Structure 1
Amino acid sequence: MEYSRKPMFVSLLYVFTIIAVNAVSSTVSAVSLSSDEQALVSIFSRWEAPISVKSRWNSSRIVPCSWNVVECDKTRNVVSLNLSNFGISGSLGPEIGLLGHLKTLDLSSNNLSGPIPVEITDCGRLEMLDLSVNNFTGEIPKKYGNLQKLRFLYFYVNSLVGQIPESLFHIPNLRFLRLSENSLNGSIPSNIGNATKLEDFEVNDNKLTGNIPSSISNCSALEFLYLNGNHFIGTLPQGLNNLENLIMLYVNSNGLEGSIPLGSGSCKNLQSVDLSENRFQGVLPSGLGNCTNLMQFSVVNNNLTGKIPSSFGQLKKLTGLYLDQNWLSGNIPSELGNCKSLSELILSDNNLEGEIPVELGKLTELTRLQLFNNSLTGEVPLDFWKIRSLEKVLIYSNRLYGELPLEVTKLRKLRNLTLFDNYFSGEIPQSLGVNSSLEVIDFTNNKFTGQIPPDICSSKRLMKLVLGYNMLTGSIPPSLGSCSSLIRLKLDNNKLTGAIPEFEDNLALHFMDLSSNNFNGKVPSSLGNCKTLSLINLTMNELSGFIPPELGKLTELGYLNLSHNHLSGSLPSELSNCRKLLKLDLSRNLLNGSIPTSLRSLTALFLMDLRENRLSGGIPSFLFELESLWDLRLGGNILGGTIPFVGSSIISFLNLSNNGLTGQLPDMSNFRNLQQLDVSLNHLTGTLDSLDDIHSFLTINVSHNLFSGPIPPNLLNLFSESTSSFLGNPGLCVDCPHSGASTCPESRDIKVCSIKRNNHKSLQQSIKIAMIVLGASLLTVIAIMSVCYAYVKFQRRSKNDVEVSGEESSHKKIKRVMECTGNFDDMYVIGKGAHGTVYKAALGPEEVYAIKKIEFGRQRAVNKSMIREIQTLGTIKHRNLVKIEDFWFRSNYGLIMYEYMENRSLGYILHRANPLSTLKWDVRYNIALGTAQGLAYLHFDCDPVVLHRDIKPENILLDSEMEPHISDFGIAKLMSQTPAATQSIAVPGTIGYIAPENAFATTWTKESDVYSYGVVLLELLTRKKAVDLSFPDGMDIVGWVGSVWNES
């Protein structure tokens, strides 16, 4: 009975509530309301709110002036309306303009939408208007002539568009104007200087453009100025020095340039300045040392040069100094040791040199030190390691040396210690990690010796341990196997020994690289518990035993390399569960048994390397059907049997050598992408006719089999290049008549296919006599021509032997080029590439060119087709292509004159000795876009199509505005027309930028250029080289990005 009464009670309560609400509504309409109250009822009728909230203004009290969110005067005029953070939705109606006595309107932090009604400007007594943190759209009303008493105007965090109205700055008492985080555009009105009482002006994170008006310096009461996150250009107004009350100045993330105009005036109140992510030039003003209340100063990612002023040492209250990603030089001033309040000192990515000052050890409040990517030398001062407040120390990529002292182990708050790419030596302190907060340890590429500290992960906080490329010895501490916080473990290229510990509780481990050590014992089966592992690299060790089937539990695994060990047993079929596996390398072990058919489920696999094992049982046909597999290496096993017939396959690289294979080659006409084929050292028979339709071959090895019959015509070029790849086949021959060649390729071991003579001996004798007579005649003619050629060559040399583009002025210009470069002296070299050396030639103040000198070789290389080619290239004009100004050809080299680019190449900017670490993202985007536009023009707007053949950062030049210009387009093809080039088959392009299908190709396509461009994009994003020393062996940037993606 108790349970049945409750629902009835709730139902009755609900009915009475409905009746009560209707009664209140009827009563309100019946009661005589003031005009303000009537306007309120109309305004509130547009809104929805939670019932609990709505009851606060629509309760049993009938008169709106009695609502707790409304404040009225004695005559029931509404003077204040405060519904901040009430969860209201709906729109603000025009009735708001009827509240003529309203002084405060606060509707902030709700879900109101729609436009701000223009009628709001009729509220002539408003002192505070706050509509912030809503979803208002449209433009800011433009007329504010009636709001003479307004002091606070807050429209920030909405979706407002349009320009900032000039009328806002005619409000005489305006003190706070906050319009940030909208989509406002246009410029700041120049009449902002009229707002002399303005204390707070915030327009950050909009889309404002143009210059910052100089009149802003008339806002003498200004304390807070936030202009960051816009598109302002030009310089900072000099008058900012006159704003004596200024406390906060934020202009970061714009396009401002010029010098920094601060410090020359009064800046006693200045506490925080952020000028980062701009294009400021020049030196840091020493006068900033007079801003004695300064607490934060940031100029990150600008173009500042010169030294860090010693006057910064006067900033006793400074807590954060951020000067990174500039071009600052000289020493770190020792005076910074006087900034006793400093907690963050960020000087990375500059050209600083010298030693770390001992005085930095006085910074007892320091939590974060970043000095990486400089040229600092010497030892880290001992007192620095005694700063107990340290949390992050990033001093990698310098020339620092010395040993780590025991004091580093006492830094209980230290979370990140990154020292890679230095010359640190000695043993790692064995108590490192005990009672510590360490999360990241990266000592890669130093000279550390000794053992890994046994309790390095005792705190269970360590996430990244990277100690590769040192000289560490001993074994891996067992405690690392139970380091549950560990995500990345990289100990490669050391001298570590012993067994790999069990990894029972490492559920977070993503990446394990223990390659190139001397580990022995078994591959731990407990690795199968590390469910998030995406990479395992144990190559180049002394591991033995079976491959644990537990590895099949690693469903996120993308890279497994156990090669160059002594592993035995069969391939575990459980590996078929690793469906995301991309690379599987088990080569050079002692594996036996057959290849499991269950591996057919590895549909993402693109490389399988099982070479140099003892596998048997034949070649499974499913391997050729894997949809992503393009590199299959099975050589050096005892597979036996025949090569299975396959309908089609995408495989490009196939190695089946030394496997005891028998039978004939199957029909391989559907292997359209096959570039490398090695079936040597088998017992294959029959002919090579099944290969005659494949024209993608780059290399082939069919040696030491039992093949017979003629070599197919499509393989004769490869035969000419490497006859050894066809040896050991007694029945193999060269069928010259079918080759279309004028002469037969010569080989002592491969015979010419037999020709039916039919006793035509007399005919053969006649041919011999004719050949002798013809040969003698040719020798005579050649002798005469040689004498003539020598004479002509001598005459031409006497005249400097210049073949120019045709104009008489060109003769004069090349003489000036020779003079300006000192006859191509090395001191004028600005670059060297695959196709020649580049010199800088300044012919005059406004005539600066880059001259590329192309070497042709000893024999005369110039021909008419080359001249026509360079003339054609000279007609190509596009804003993202380097313009060819002129050209000359000599007997053994050519000269091509280009526009000179002030910012050199993208490669120089990305990878120079001390790179500007962070290019602004809009600059990167413009470089990527401009390069794509230039490449598209070559591919689709040139007739004939121009293929670049060598897209890379070094061939993308940057002008003074950082606009990209592709250079060297067509040069690879031009060089291929020289006799020297035709004597060897060179692969076009540069290693790391060549598409996999072009790895050994002599042909090039648009798609090849696009692949190279994609590699450039990855470099632009990551600042890693295409083939970077930090990558694992055999990995390029494409593979690295893939592994990082999988890891994340």
Structure 2
Amino acid sequence: MLLPVKLVSFLFLLQSWLLSAQSLAAPAFNDDVLGLIVFKAGLSDPQSRLVSWSEEDNVACKWAGVKCDPNTSRVTELALDGFSLSGHIGRGLARLQSLTLLQLSRNNFSGEIPPILAQIPSLEVLDLSSNALSGSISEALFQQCGRLKSISLAKNSLSGPLPKSLTSCLNLQRLNFSSNRLSGQLLPGIWSLASLRFLDLSDNLLEGEIPGGIESVADLKVISLRNNHLVGLLPESLGKCLNLKSIDFGGNYFRGSLPVSMRELGLCRYLDVSLNSLTGEFPDWIGEMGRLEFLDISGNKFSGRVPSSLGNLQLLKQVNVSRNRLSGSLPESFGGCVSLRVVDFGHNSFSGNLPSWIFVLALESASLNGNRYSGSITFPASWSQSFESLQVLDLSSNALTGGIPGAVGNFSRLQSLNVSCNSLAGSIPASVGELNTTRVLDMSHNRLSGSIPPEVGRSVSLQQLRLDRNMLIGAIPKEIGNCSSLTSLVLSQNNLTGPLPGSVTNLSNLEVLDLSFNNLSGSLPKELTNLSRLVSFNVSFNHLEGELPVGGFFNTIPSSSVIGNPYLCGSIVKQSCPAVHPKPLVLNPNSSVSNHGPLPPNLRHKRIVLSISSLVAIGAAVFIALGVVTVSILNMHARTSMARSAAASAFSGDEDFSPSHDTEANYGKLVMFSGEAEFATGAQSLLNKNCEIGRGGFGTVYKTELRAGRSIAIKKLNTTSLVKCQEDFEREVKTLGKIRHLNLVTLEGYYWTPSLQLLINEYVSGGSLHKHLHDGGEDSCLAWQQRFNIILGIAKGLAHLHRMGVIHYNMKSSNVLIDVSGDPKVGDFALARLLPGLDRYILSSKIQSALGYMAPEFACQSVKITEKCDVYGFGVLTLEVLTGKRPVEYMEDDVVVLSDMVREALDEGRIEECIDMRLKGGYPVEEAIPVIKLGLICASQVPSNRPDMEEVIRILELIQSSSEKEEMES
């Protein structure tokens, strides 16, 4: 009987223990639920992806995005990738003490990363990538990271330095902080993370040199430091990381040669060192990296020949050696790279005939532009793999001769063919009509003759057709109207005759039409006004006649686009068109009705009465017009008096001010972002005429001083068409007040009343760039390096605006100020945001002084205004700085447009004549010419052809000579 008693006692004890364990575990389970419910409460869930999350549940294991430990029911994984959530990452997550994976990527979380996440001791994977997180990364975040294996904070807006505590995460295998705004230097202890396999810090603002010791990370497989500001030499011991498969150091300022130790990287598949300042010969040992699939050394200063050892790379798929100083011929051994798909050898000094293997391998893209290749283009006589594979072929800017082979039509997948800027002759083969997939066809700047084949109309995918600067004759074929996808049609500088075919008006996607410098005749079709996307139109110097199209885009075209056609008429050319109505009957008062006697008395009396009535009507009209003008002048005087009165009342003395940031007076509101709000001379003199220092399309600028002795500039805004709502005005101005950059004028505060708005800006003492270029005379001529630095500084300022989502809208030399150090500061940015609605015609009237700087899309309602408008203005401004000429100059009987003049000089090989004569040869030609070309590219008529400002900065920095770079770094 004892055994059953003991068994019963044991079971009783076991049951009691289980009940006790459940009572203790329940709060822990509810703690997970509570933490997630608190986290959810701070979120916006537009797609109701978290609808299953209910506080009524005891556990969260069945909730969307949640996984639990099957034994304990504790939450171990929270994966909300791509749930479209927004809000802050709440403190409730810290309750998830068993969490190993936290994945919140591809949402719209904002604010800072809460350091409290460090209180989750079990966390192994943290992925907050592709959000809108900002601020710096707290040191506390990685103070308890012993189990952390993977961190991704990529694609956010994080700033500041890398946290030093990161080096304590000794188990870390993956680290991805790419695409942020992180700055400072790489951590000296970064290579103490011996378990690291993946490191991506690309697309940040990191600077300094790569610290030594990389060889200690033996398991490193992927490293990317692309697009930073890193300098110095590449790590000499890089080749000791034998497991490396991907290396990307592109877009920095590295110098020297490639480390020889890299020849040991037999597992490396991806190598990118593009856009640096690397020198030396193309190393022969790269042929020993047998697994290499991608090789990019473009945008450096490598010299010498391409080694034949590259033919050993059987797995090589893409190779880019463009924009270096390589010479000689490409080795025939490339023919053995059977996996090769994309090659770019452009902008070097390669010479000789085109490599035969280009049209033998199954290449998809081949670029050999900007070299010294001569001889003819020879396609294979028989079938070739390239006929079915090649999509991009660029042979432009060489010295090729001969004709265009008829076999060009065999490339069934060709999307872009560019053979421009050569010496090709003969006719355009009719086989171009077989290029059904081709989008870009550029045969410009050659010696092609004959007519444009009508078969071109069968190329229905064509978007850009350029045949300009040839010797083509005959009429423009009407079949060209079948190319319904055309956005750019440039046939200028040929000998084309006949009328413009009406079928051109069917090209509804057309943005650019240039038929200038031909022998076209007849009238322009009125239906051209139906081309709603047109942004550039030029038919100058032909034999066209009749009335110009009227309406829409054609009401805004410059006269320079139609000059040289003496028989064209219309308001643009200031020549009235002949009347088409029958001539009115005119009676001679000295002749009889029948031409045989005097006018009868009654008829003569009526004529006199009509004449008197006409005179009375004319007199009344003149009287009314004078009255309107008088009243308008009185109204303007009254409004000016009211504005001055309001200003005097608003700034009636120091008692209306305090050092606070936000001062409400009886008549208005003054806000100073910097904290200083007291003016040294008293408020009465703020808008004193004697303090006026400038006027512009948006208002008048006055100079005054704060009590601390610091000068500021006050812009009194024109109230016409400006925001009348205080809330809207303040929202826009406070947004602009947060923008800070070395090359931007700082907005320090504002003043508001319904009838008076003032912007308080940093005062820049050096005057405007316009003054330095055009009003300073010989003695104040800017030197070359000053001009280059000004262009680069303007580019950096604009790029920062664009990163902040702000468009300037009004780029011109008078809006660029020069400080005492010679640095440029871009001012008056985004004042167009203060307009009640961004109507481009209102905007054009406000900034009409920017004539010549305004992008052509301002004239077209259907084209979106983007940052590319600022790029256009920057391009014109660049040309202005280098030439010393105004964007538009009015001669006695002609109008000279700067960009057109420079472009023509470039085409004719006399570009050096355009550079400001005041420099007197004191400039490096190898820098000046590329900068001018960059300006022309930025001022392209087609927005998509313009680079963005980040690209502009990189190009300018690459243009700088190595000696100047070393001088700046030292």
Please, what TM-score do these two structures have when normalized by structure 1?
0.53
Q: Which residue of the partner structure matches residue 509 of structure 2?
A: 508
> Does the aligned pair in 1 maintain the 2:33–2:57 contact within 8 Å?
no
| 2:59 corresponds to | 63
* Structure 1 residue aligned with 2:49: 53
* Structure 1 position 406 matched with structure 2 position 406: yes
Q: 1:162 matched to which residue of 2? A: 160
Do the aligned partners of 1:392 and 1:417 also contact (CA within 8 Å) in 2? yes
Deviations 1:478-516 (A, max 9, x none): 101343222222223323333432134122223333334
After superposition, residues 13-92 of structure 1 pair within 5 angstroms as: 33-35=26-28, 37-38=30-31, 40-47=33-40, 48-50=43-45, 52-58=48-54, 61-65=57-61, 67=63, 69-72=66-69, 74-92=71-89
Q: Structure 1 vs Structure 2: percent identity of aligned residues?
A: 28
Q: CA deviation at 1:1044?
A: 1.4
The whole-number CA distance in structure 1 between the counterparts of 2:326 and 2:452 is 37
Q: State whether residues 289 and 311 of structure 1, in contact with CA within 8 Å, keep that contact through their aligned partners in structure 2.
A: yes
Q: Does 1:270 align with 2:162?
A: no
Q: Which residue of 2 aligns with 1:321?
A: 319
> What is the CA distance between 1:466 and its match in structure 2?
1.8
SS where residue 399 of structure 1 aligns? coil
Equivalent residue runs for 1:378-457 within 5 Å: 378-383=375-380, 386=384, 387-388=386-387, 389-457=389-457
Unaligned runs of 5+ in 2: 1-22, 582-625, 627-775, 801-811, 825-879, 916-931, 946-970
Residues 292, 935 of structure 1: alpha-carbon distance in 2 compared, 3 angstrom cutoff: same
**Bigger proportion of residues as helix:** 2
The one-letter code of the counterpart of 1:41 is: L
Q: 1:549-568 alignment to 2 at 5 Å?
A: 554-555=554-555, 557-558=557-558, 561-562=561-562, 564=564, 567=567
CA distance in 2, matches of 1:248, 1:939: 40
Counterpart for residue 20 of structure 1:
none
Name the residue aligned to 1:227: 225
Q: TM-score, normalised by structure 2?
A: 0.57
Q: How far has the Cα of 1:533 moved from its partner?
A: 3.6
What is aligned with 2:674?
none
Kindly indicate whether residue 936 of structure 2 is the aligned counterpart of residue 1044 of structure 1: no
In 1, the alpha carbon distance for the partners of 2:881 and 2:300 equals 34
Q: 1:334, 1:192 → 2: CA distance? A: 44
Deviation at 1:119, TM superposition (A): 3.4
Taking the aligned partners of 2:91 and 2:55, their CA distance within structure 1 comes to 25
The 1:263–1:289 alpha-carbon spacing in structure 2 relative to 1, beyond 3 Å, is: farther
Q: 1:112 to 1:525 in 2, by over 3 A?
A: closer
What is the RMSD computed on CA atoms of the aligned residues?
4.7
Matched-pair contact (CA < 8 Å) for 1:205–1:230: yes
Q: Is the 8 A contact 1:560 1:585 kept in 2?
A: no
Paired residues of 1:346 and 1:371 also in contact (CA < 8 A): yes
Contact 1:105 1:129 in 2 (8 A): yes
C-alpha displacement of 1:517: 3.3
Quote the Cα distance in structure 1 between the aligned partners of 2:904 and 2:90: 59
SS in 1 for 2:465: strand
Does the 8 Å contact 1:235/1:257 carry over to 2?
Answer: yes
Distance 1:299 1:1042 in 2: 29
- Contact kept, 8 Å, 1:510 with 1:1047, in 2: the verdict is no
CA distance in 2, matches of 1:279, 1:45: 52
C-alpha distance in 1 between matches for 2:339 and 2:395: 21
Evaluate the alpha carbon distance shift between residue 524 and residue 936 of structure 1 in structure 2; reply closer, same or farther with a 3 A threshold.
farther
Secondary structure of 2:520's partner? strand
Q: Which of the numbers 112, 121, 125 marks the counterpart of 2:109?
A: 112
- Work out whether residues 482 and 504 of structure 1, in 8 Å CA contact, stay in contact via their aligned partners in 2: no
C-alpha deviation, 1:1047, in angstroms: 10
Task: Please state whether the residue corresponding to 1:34 is helix, strand or coil.
Answer: helix
Q: Distance in 2 between matches of 1:91 and 1:1031?
A: 59
Query: What per-residue deviation string (whole Å, max 9, x for no partner) do you get for residues 415-453 of structure 1?
Result: 222222211111211121235222222222211122212
Residue in 2 that maps onto 1:135: 132
State the partner residue of 1:102. 99
Residue matched to 1:658? none
Q: Contact (CA 8 Å) 1:255, 1:279: kept in 2 or not? A: yes
Cα distance change on mapping 1:92 and 1:437 into 2, 3 Å = closer
How far apart are the structure 1 equivalents of 2:320 and 2:394? 14
CA distance in 2, matches of 1:997, 1:459: 41
Q: State the Cα deviation string for residues 136-178 of structure 1 (Å, max 9, x = none).
A: 3343343546432222222222333333234333333221111
Q: Which amino acid aligns with 1:510?
A: E
The number of aligned residues is: 631
What CA distance in whole angstroms lies between the structure 2 residues aligned with 1:997 and 1:288? 55
User: Do 1:190 and 1:215's aligned partners in 2 also have CA atoms closer than 8 Å?
Assistant: no
Counterpart residue number, 2:730: none
CA 1:62–1:49: 2 relative to 1, 3 Å: farther
Counterpart CA distance in 1 for 2:794 and 2:297 is 13
How far apart are the structure 2 equivalents of 1:84 and 1:521?
Answer: 63
Alpha-carbon separation, structure 1, partners of 2:881 and 2:891:
9
- Residue 316 and residue 905 in structure 1: after superposition, are their counterparts in 2 closer, same or farther (change >3 A)? farther
Q: Which residue of 2 aligns with 1:474?
A: 474
Q: Distance in 1 between matches of 2:518 and 2:60?
A: 81
- The 5 Å alignment of 1:452-463 reads 452-463=452-463
Question: Given the superposition, is the C-alpha separation of residues 1025 and 33 from structure 1 closer, same or farther in structure 2, using an over 3 Å criterion?
Answer: farther
Displacement, 1:297?
Answer: 1.3
Is the contact made by 2:317 and 2:341 (CA closer than 8 Å) also made in structure 1? yes
C-alpha distance 996-83 of structure 1, shift in aligned 2 (>3 A): closer
Offset at residue 112 of structure 1 (A)? 3.1
Q: Aligned to 1:53, what secondary structure does the other structure show? A: coil
Q: C-alpha distance in 2, partners of 1:448/1:92?
A: 65
The alpha carbon displacement at 1:262 in A equals 5.6
When residues 585 and 466 of structure 1 are mapped into structure 2, their CA distance, relative to the original with a 3 A threshold, is farther
- The 1:586–1:282 alpha-carbon spacing in structure 2 relative to 1, beyond 3 Å, is farther
1:750-789 correspondence to structure 2 within 5 Å: none
SS of residue in 2 equivalent to 1:62: coil
Q: Distance in 2 between matches of 1:202 and 1:155?
A: 10
1:530 matches 2:528: no
Distance 2:128 2:275 in 1: 30
Larger radius of gyration: 1
Which residue of structure 1 lines up, in the alignment, with residue 370 of structure 2?
Answer: 373
Write the distance in 1 (CA, Å) between the matches of 2:312 and 2:416: 29
* Structure 1 residue runs without a partner (length 5+): 1-29, 596-646, 648-872, 883-900, 911-917, 941-987, 1002-1011
The residue type paired with residue 124 of structure 1 is P
- Give the partner amino acid of 1:383: P
Letter of the 2:287 partner, please give it: G
Residues 516, 541 of structure 2: 8 Å contact kept: yes
After the TM superposition, which residues 818-967 of structure 1 pair with which residues of structure 2 at under 5 Å, given as runs?
A: 881=783
Q: SS state of the match for residue 223, structure 2?
A: strand
Rounded to whole Å, the distance in 1 between the matches of 2:379 and 2:147 is 62
Aligned 1:731-746 pairs, distance under 5 A: none
Q: Deviations over 1:880-930 (max 9, x none)?
A: 858xxxxxxxxxxxxxxxxxx9xx9979xx9xxxxxxx999779999x99x
The code of the aligned residue for 1:505 comes to N
Q: In 2, are the aligned partners of 1:415 and 1:440 still within 8 Å (CA)? A: yes
Find the counterpart in structure 1 of residue 885 from structure 2. 993
- CA deviation string 1:191-249 (max 9, x = no partner): 22222221111111222111112212221111111111211111110111122211111
Point out the more displaced range, 195-204 or 163-172. 163-172
Question: Please, which of 147, 150, 156 is the counterpart of residue 148 of structure 2?
Answer: 150
Q: Distance in 2 between matches of 1:201 and 1:995?
A: 48
Structure 1 residues 565 and 92 mapped into 2: Cα distance closer, same or farther (>3 Å)?
closer
Distance 2:500 2:167 in 1: 72
Letter in 1 for 2:885: Y
Aligned match of 2:635: none
Q: 1:191 to 1:472 in 2, by over 3 A?
A: same
Are the aligned partners of 2:238 and 2:262 in contact in 1 as well (CA < 8 Å)? no
Contact 1:513 1:537 in 2 (8 A): yes
